[in-house]
Structure 1
Amino acid sequence: MKKLPRRKYPKKSSLRYIYKFEELKVRYNTKKIFFILLSVFGIGSSIYWYLGMAPTPKLDTAVAIAPDIKLSYQIQSYTSSVMGGQRTYGVSLPPNYGQNPQQRYPVIFLLHGGNGRPTDWFKKGLALSVIEQLYATGKLPYSIIITPDGNDKRGASPFYDPQYIDGVNGRVNTAVGNELVRVIKSRYSTLPTAKFWAIGGLSSGGWGALNIGLHNPQNFSVMFSHSGYFRDRSGARNSPVTYIKRISKAKRQQFRIYLDAGDEDGKFLQQTKEFAQVLKTLKIPYEFNQFPGGHTLIGPDSLWNYWHKHLADSLTYVGTQFQNASPVETVGPPNPWIKNN
Structure 2
Amino acid sequence: MAFSPLASSSTPSSPVPQPSQDIPAVTNEPLSYKLETYNSKSLRGKRTYGVALPPGYEDSSTQRYPVIFLLHGGHGEPTDWFNPQKGAVLKTLEQLYAEGKLPPSIIITPDGNDRRGSSPYWDPQYIDGPNGKVSTAVGDELVKVIQSRYRTLPAPNFWAIGGCSSGGWGAMNVGLHHLNHFSILFSHSGYFRDKSGVQNSPIRFVKKLSLEQRQKIRIYLDTGKADSSSLKESQQFHTLLSQLKIKHVFQEFPGEHSWRYWREHLTNSLAFVGEQFQQIQQTQSQQ
What's the TM-score, normalizing by structure 1? 0.74
Give yes or no for contact 1:260–1:272 (8 Å, CA) kept in 2.
yes
How many residues are matched?
259
Give yes or no for contact 1:69–1:136 (8 Å, CA) kept in 2.
no
Deviation at 1:319, TM superposition (A): 0.2
Name the CA distance, whole Å, in 2 between partners of 1:116 and 1:142: 26
Name the CA distance, whole Å, in 2 between partners of 1:199 and 1:129: 19
Deviation at 1:199, TM superposition (A): 0.1
Q: Which amino acid aligns with 1:107?
A: V
1:163-178 matches, within 5 Å, as 163-178=125-140
Unaligned runs of 5+ in 1: 1-65, 296-302, 329-337
Match of 1:267 among 196, 212, 229: 229
Name the CA distance, whole Å, in 1 between partners of 2:238 and 2:226: 18
1:153-168 matches, within 5 Å, as 153-168=115-130
- Residue matched to 1:305: 260
- Residue matched to 1:50: none
Give yes or no for contact 2:75–2:118 (8 Å, CA) kept in 1.
yes
- Residue matched to 2:15: none
Q: Which amino acid aligns with 1:182?
A: K
Unaligned runs of 5+ in 2: 1-25
SS at match of 1:201: strand
SS at match of 2:57: coil
SS at match of 1:91: strand
Deviation at 1:327, TM superposition (A): 2.6
Deviation at 1:193, TM superposition (A): 2.5
Deviation at 1:69, TM superposition (A): 3.6
Q: Which amino acid aligns with 1:315?
A: L
Deviation at 1:271, TM superposition (A): 0.3
Give yes or no for contact 2:74–2:166 (8 Å, CA) kept in 1.
yes
- Residue matched to 1:128: 90
Name the CA distance, whole Å, in 2 between partners of 1:67 and 1:264: 38
- Residue matched to 1:288: 250
- Residue matched to 2:69: 109
- Residue matched to 1:300: none
Q: Which has the larger radius of gyration?
A: 1
Name the CA distance, whole Å, in 1 between partners of 2:63 and 2:37: 24
Name the CA distance, whole Å, in 1 between partners of 2:51 and 2:126: 20
Name the CA distance, whole Å, in 2 between partners of 1:283 and 1:154: 38
- Residue matched to 2:8: none
Identity of counterpart residues, as a percentage? 59
Give yes or no for contact 2:28–2:55 (8 Å, CA) kept in 1.
no
Change (3 A) 1:67 1:186: closer
Deviation at 1:318, TM superposition (A): 0.2
Give yes or no for contact 1:110–1:147 (8 Å, CA) kept in 2.
yes
Q: If each structure's helix is expressed as a fraction of its own residues, which one has the higher value?
A: 1
SS at match of 1:89: strand
What's the TM-score, normalizing by structure 2? 0.88
Q: Tell me, yes or no, if structure 1 residue 76 matches structure 2 residue 49.
A: no
SS at match of 2:61: coil
Name the CA distance, whole Å, in 2 between partners of 1:205 and 1:247: 21
